[in-house]
Chains A and B, each alone.
Chain A
Amino acid sequence: MEATHRAPRVSWRVVAVVAGALAYSWIASGLRPFTHPEAVAVGIPIIVAGIATLRSAFRPRDAAVPESRRGIWVWRGLLGAFLVWELISYRSSPRVDYPTFSSITDTIMSTHPGRFAMFAVWLAIGYGIFRR
Chain B
Amino acid sequence: MSTSTFSYAIYAVIAASWVAWGAFTRIARPRYATLGGIVRRMMRNPVMRWAVWASWAFVGWHLFVRGRGAFK
Contact = CB atoms under 8 A, between A and B. Distances in A.
Nearest to B35: A75
Count class of interface residues, chain B: 35 or more
A119 to B, nearest CB: 6
Count class of interface residues, chain A: 35 or more
Contact of A122 (B38, B43, B60, B67): B60
Contact of A106 (B11, B25, B67): B67
Interface string A52-68: 01001100010010011
Contacts of A89: 7
B41 A78 contact: no
Contact of B21 (A75, A90, A126, A132): A75
Nearest to A78: B18
B27 interface: no
Contacts of A90: 71
Interface in B35-72: 35-41, 43-44, 46, 49-50, 52-53, 56-57, 59-69, 71
B14 interface: yes
B47 to A, nearest CB: 11
Given A82-B14, A122-B63, A67 B41 contact: yes
Contact of B68 (A41, A42, A72, A103): A103
A102 B68 contact: yes
B14 A68 contact: no
Given A53-B53, A89-B7, A99-B4, A39 B41 contact: no
B10 A38 contact: no
A46 interface: yes
